[in-house]
Structure 1
Amino acid sequence: MKLVERFIEVNAWPTSRKTVLLMAITLPAHLLGWAVLIAAQVDTQVVDMVVVHAVVAFGAIVLVICLLAGGVMAWLGREGRWTGYLVGVLYGAYVIAVIQTAGNWSTPFFSWYPIGVIVLTLWFDERIGAFTFVLGLLWLSLIAGLQWSDLLPYAPAIIDRNMDSQQTPSWAGGVVAPILVFFGFCFTLSLLVLAARRLQTVQLREAREKVELSNRLISRYVPSQVAERIIRGDHDDDFRPARVKLTVFFSDLVGFTAIAEDLDPEDLAQMLNQYFSEMTQIADRHGGTVDELSGDAILIFFGAPTATTDKDHALRAARMALEMQRAVGTLNQTWARAGIDATFEARMGLNTGLVTIGNFGSSGRMKYAVLGKQVNLASRIRSICEPGKVLVSHSTWLLIQDEIGTVPHGEATLKGIARPVQVYELSPEAA
């Protein structure tokens, strides 16, 4: 799989880099092939080594030119698409020279050209491949015409002339036609593979964009940490109801009902959206799980689905609350400059304790939620908080008091809570 992934990566390279890599592979392979050929034929008196050496030198020059052209364009950071066509022209001319010197209709080297066209088609694209194919047909037709007109020698590299009898249109047709038919099939198949690959790439890109859009939409309606786990597929065991110690945060806006009655619906919607957007961004920065945005109320908790330590949860929750209060003041200034005659004042409460957290609902509709007496306690502490302040319970204070300044507010009697609760106010400059 790593090799396939690497090939996919290379396939996305610009043409100039592809040219460099192709020539870097081709040049040493040709050097080895030339060495073997020359060593095998040097003393056989079958081939004219002068012609062979000239063709080999021409091939080496072609490969070096293509390598340098691609290298310069790649170094400049350019696409260099013309380097692909350059390979088709120069390397195609070299292959045609090999075929011509060895006998067009007599040498197995004839298969080099169709193979080369398929390689260039798959390596670059079908346009470069088709260009090279057409150019090769023109070269071969011109060479055949010159040979049949006795203006160009047939197989000048071959000393034994028994093959001269093969230099006829009927022999050429019998040899070339099957090769061209087979090549046409392979070339068409290559074009179909490229077209299918492009279509799959487009479909994959569209599917990825849809998935990313869906992920963003999921994150709008469920806590971001929960969304991330759903996207990864880690949700079955993690979201079963369980007893966990969390720090729970509640906030609401003082006098929101009266504000809603006085404001135009458009201004109210704008203010609420900006308020919730700012608050949730702050919560995300501090690693809180935004569980509920309802009316003017916000419920956030720390410690699930990702947990660290109780102390860390409480400290991050307290710092988040203080930053939120500062942000509300900044928003009020922004709205005043925009001519909106309304002021938001938030009250916030924090509590740390054991709660039940997980998925609740039916098989068709679930909600990741937090339940329990400690959640109610955080809500009740919020309800007695003064506007613009943050109150915390004694359990939360024990975890943060050595790092964040607080002011004792004594014991408070809370609705639905049997015993009085000790509460503390966070100092605004504490964080």
Structure 2
Amino acid sequence: MGRKFHRISLGGVWDESEIRGHRRTYVGALPGLIIHGLKKCEVNNPVFLLDEIDKVGSRGHHGDPSAAFLEVLDPEQNSTFTDHYLNVPFDLSKILFIATANSLDTIPAPLLDRMETITIPGYTYAEKLAIATNHLLPKQIRLHGLGETDVQVTQDALLKVATGYTRESGVRHLEREIGSLVRAKAVEYAEIQEKKEAGHSVLTEYQPLVSLDDVEEILGQEKFVNEVTERVSVPGVVTGMAYNGVGGGILFIEVSQMPGKGNLQLTGSLGDVIKESAQIALSWVKSHGYEIGLTNSPGQNVMEKADVHIHMPSGGTPKDGPSAGIAMVCALVSMFSNRTVPSTTAMTGEFTLRGLVMPVGGIKEKVIAAHRAGVRKIIMPLRNQKDVTSDVPLNVREDIEFFYASTIGEVLREAFEGRLMVRSSVSTVIDSRM
């Protein structure tokens, strides 16, 4: 673009005066970060990077710094932006503002409305491999004072580092692990060189190649196992799909029953929305127990003499949102019918009391994370089909079988692979498209 660049770090900015400046009547008054950046760039049309805008402090007795950005980022208003230090209008409309954030949840809605959101999803393993080969490995070799031919890592070894030692959407941790490999080879190289210079005999020459077997010897035992493919299918356990601010992940939903009076217990650091999804799922299963073969007569309560406990492991991680609706229904049906859902089948989708499957967000991130975890079949809402076609990389789509459902009946048939008994006389109840 041929324009000057300036970065403004907003993490921990809690005073409105840091954006709008101080009035010159105060001792030590300074202009705000915007005017200060223009002064450093010495032009009025630079590119400003507002780093970590979701970390800006909230309203306090020093004002609301996030509200101060409303005028800065609004192209209809920022041509007359007034800094308290300058005390005259200044035109900011020629500046290109680029903001970064890990999560949109902490950005106030009026501020988010003034920005165009561009979502950058997590990397696939193929992309991580290409980044590690072309950028991360050469960078670490240079930083450790070695030449390009002094350390060579095979593609299989890099892939094992990415799959067995990292579980992230980016490559920051991957670079650390590659740095550990390079340091180990640097130490080996230095020790052999010292022995040669000291005149000692060297039994083995330095080997620059890091193979698949060397990775575990250097980095230790694998930190992450493929939790989906390693898991044995058990009644009452279903694999869901989650989305968070730094990418996606898989979410296990565990259901068990015990003698009781029909109570529901929820554990696993769950938010209000996901608790409501569990209540909706349980209500639907209770009202349609006869249709799906869980009870012997219409009107019989499947929880008449039982309590149900729904748990989502990783209790230290807060979970919320409606996306686990159909997974909870399948987990409840699996537990009551004593039938299993294959461990390599994952699902996501919002669920209504009428039995409809509603679309959800974060599809690309969820699918990529499920692919990383070893999922081979995904059940999702029909209205999310366009998101898979347009956003998910081709190599990921080729490895996974997708099934799109619009009603919970379709979900149950596909999840249990036709092994669930649905009474023919009333099967239209759960397949009706209301």
State if a TM-score over 0.5 links the two structures. no
More helix per residue: 1 or 2? Answer: 1
TM-score (norm 1): 0.19
- Between Structure 1 and Structure 2, whose CA radius of gyration is higher? 1
TM-score (norm 2): 0.19
